[in-house]
Amino acid sequence: MGQVLCAIFSKILEIPFFQLSTTTIEATKVCSFLLGTYLGTILAIRSAHEIHLSLPFIRIEEEIQKKEEEVVEAIRPSVQAGDAIRIKIQRYGKEPKQGVGYLDDGTMVVINNGGDFLGEIIDSQVISVKQTSAGRIIFTNALTENFAYDS
């Protein structure tokens, strides 16, 4: 459509009545082309909607929102306070009666009252999750009413 408007404009300028500068003529041609392209796009979209064609559109706001949700999900703790987890006690902790285990992703889990279950898999309840420069640390309490599971 832009090319059609430019062609029409060129034919109009061939009429000797118009005395325009070259710069004005070129600027008007560019404007006509852009206007025609815009109108052609609008008409194509309107026609596509009338015949129920689905045109692929990229909605920037939706894409940004999706990326934000992905980032939030990536940094969200895998466990939260109150969650129960089953963990193998792999070594003693720094404090008396503490045990230390690791999740599959390498996150360290400190288990209060877990030192007595070294080498065993026990149930524990998450107290808190701390983010450090070395990664996440999950603090839990051993659920003493549960028996330890064999590894």
pLDDT in tens, 87-136: 999 999 999 899 999 988 888 999 999 999 999 999 999 999 888 888 88
pTM of full prediction above 0.75: no
- Domain of residue 9, residue span: 2-50
In this predicted structure, the answer to whether residue 146 has a pLDDT above a threshold of 70 is no
Domain contains 64: no
- Average pLDDT for 42-58: 61
Domain contains 62: no
Residue 118 near residue 146 (C-beta atoms within 8 A): no
In this predicted structure, the answer to whether residue 1 has a pLDDT above a threshold of 50 is yes
Domain contains 148: no
Domain contains 70: no
Q: Which two tokens stand for residue 59?
A: 């909605």
Residue type present at position 125: Q
Q: Mean pLDDT of all residues in the chain?
A: 78
Domain contains 74: no
């009666």: which residue's tokens? 97
Domain contains 134: yes
Higher-pLDDT residue of 78 and 121 is 121
Domain count, the chain: 2
Query: Domain holding 120: CATH number?
Result: 2.40.50
Same domain, 90 and 138: yes
Same domain, 42 and 88: no
Calpha distance 52→99 (Å, rounded):
64
Domain contains 19: yes
Same domain, 88 and 138: yes
